[in-house]
Amino acid sequence: ASESNLIRATLFPGDGIGPEIAESVKQVFRVADVPIEWEEHFVGTEIDPRTQSFLTWESLESVRQNKVGLKGPMATPIGKGHRSLNLTLRKELNLYANVRPCYSLPGYKTKYDDVDLITIRENTEGEYSGLEHQVVRGVVESLKIITRSASLRVAEYAFHYAKAHGRQRVSAIHKANIMQKTDGLFLKCCREVAEKYPEIVYEEVVIDNCCMMLVKNPALFDVLVMPNLYGDIISDLCAGLIGGLGLTPSVNIGEGGIALAEAVHGSAPDIAGKNLANPTALLLSAVSMLRHLDLHDKADRIQDAVLKTIAEGKYRTGDLGGKSTTTEFTNAICDHI
Ligand code: NAD
C-alpha cells in the first residue's frame, strides 16, 4: 500500500501477554499487506490527573480521532486506588456495547460442533459503575445502576446487529425475578426495541437457566443481550464451549462510530513473557476491526489463515494442547497468507 491510503488505527499493546500477541498481529498485518498504520500507545507509569488512571488523555484522544483501534489486555492491580484502565476506556470513550462472537473452530474438537453465538454486553453501567462504599464496619454497599438510555442503546445495537447479520433470534438475559427494578427496566427497554423488529424472534431467559441451557445445548441461542456483569460471565462460559479464552475476540462499540477491538481474555500473568500465549483471540479481534473498516478481503485472508493453521493441528499453542510457541504459531499463519 502506498503511504497516502494508509488508515490510522490506535494500538494499545497492553500488559502481560499483550505485547507478545500484539507483535503477532503486527507481523500478520505486514505479511498480509494490510493498509493500516498503527499509532501505538502504552499504558503509562504515572496517573494522569485528567483521566485519574494510568491511561493518558493523549491515548484516549488517539482513539477519538482514529475512531478505530485494537487493544491488548490491561491488568488492574487490585485495590491500588486508581481507576481500572478498562473502565476508564469504556467510560471516557462511551464504549456502550461489547460484541463477543463465539463459534466452533473447524478442526478443533470440543464437546460441541455447532456453537455460533453472539454475546452483546452492556459495557458502561450495572455492577461496574464503581460505586462502592462502607456503610458501617462490617457492612459494605455496591450500587448497580441501570438506566433507560444505556439499556435502550445496547438493545438497539443488539437488534440492529441481528438484522444486519441475518440472525433470527435475540435473547435478553436477566434476573428480573429478584432484581425487579434494575433488570426489570433492562427488560422493559429490550421489549420496546423488540417491537420495532417483528422479523426477529425475541425471548427473555433468566441467567441461571441460561447457563444450564448453554452448557447443555449451545445451539438453543443465537444473539444474547444482557447487562454488564452477566455479559462478563456468560462470554467466558461461551469461550469455554469452543476451546478457551485464547480464541474469543470482541469489539467495543462507542458513540460517534468508534470501534475498539480487543480479546476477551486478560493479561494472563501466569504465562506472560514466555512466548506461550495464543494470539488467536487478538488476531480475530483485529479481523473484526478490518471488517468494521470494510477491508473484507484482508479480513478473510487473515481469518482463513488463522483457522487453517488451527485446523491442520501441526502448530498449536499450549492452551489448545499443542507445543508451539507464539512465534511458531504466528509464522505458520503467515505461511498460509
Ligand atoms: P486471564 O484471562 O488473564 O487468564 C485466565 C486464564 O486463561 C489463565 O490461565 C491464562 O493463562 C489463560 N489465558 C488467557 N488468555 C490466553 C491466551 N491468549 N493464550 C493462552 N492462555 C490464555 O484472567 P485473569 O488471570 O483473571 O486476569 C489477569 C489480569 O487481566 C487481571 O489484572 C485482570 O484485571 C486483567 N483482565 C483484563 C481484561 C481486559 O483488559 N479486557 C479482561 C480480563 C482480565
Give pLDDT, residue 1.
47
Q: What is the distance between the alpha carbons of residues 299 and 293, in angstroms, rounded to a whole number? A: 10
Which of 24, 85, 267 best tests ligand 1's pocket when mutated (most atoms within 8 Å of CB)? Answer: 267
Q: What is the distance between the alpha carbons of residues 17 and 38, in angstroms, rounded to a whole number? A: 19
Q: What residues contact 304, with CB distance under 8 A and at least 6 apart?
A: 336
| Tens-digit pLDDT profile for residues 8-49 | 999 999 999 999 999 999 999 999 999 999 999 998 777 888
| Tens-digit pLDDT profile for residues 134-167 | 999 999 999 999 999 999 999 999 999 999 999 9
Ligand 1 pocket, CB under 6 A: 17, 73-76, 86, 245-246, 262, 265-271, 277-278, 281, 319
Four-point Cα dihedral 232, 236, 242, 244, nearest 10: 140
Q: What is the distance between the alpha carbons of residues 215 and 213, in angstroms, rounded to a whole number? A: 6
Closest ligand 1 atom to residue 84 Cα is: 34
Query: Is 82:93 a contact under the CB 8 Å cutoff?
Result: no
The Å distance, Cα 228 to ligand 1 centre, comes to 18
Q: What is the distance between the alpha carbons of residues 257 and 68, in angstroms, rounded to a whole number? A: 9
Ligand 1, atom 23, residue with closest C-alpha: 266
- Of the candidates 207, 250, 241, the one whose C-alpha atom is nearest the C-alpha of residue 119 is 250
Give pLDDT, residue 172.
98
- Of the candidates 85, 170, 71, 68, the one whose C-alpha atom is nearest the C-alpha of residue 119 is 170
Name the pTM for this structure. Answer: 0.93
How does residue 79 score in pLDDT terms, banded at 50, 70 and 90? Answer: low
Q: What residues contact 311, with CB distance under 8 A and at least 6 apart?
A: 105, 106, 107, 108
Query: Is 95:254 a contact under the CB 8 Å cutoff?
Result: yes
Question: Could you report how far apart the first and last alpha carbons of the chain are, in Å?
Answer: 17
At 252, is the secondary structure helix, strand, or coil? strand
pLDDT mean across residues, the chain: 94
- Of the candidates 127, 143, 147, the one whose C-alpha atom is nearest the C-alpha of residue 135 is 143
ipTM of the modeled complex: 0.98
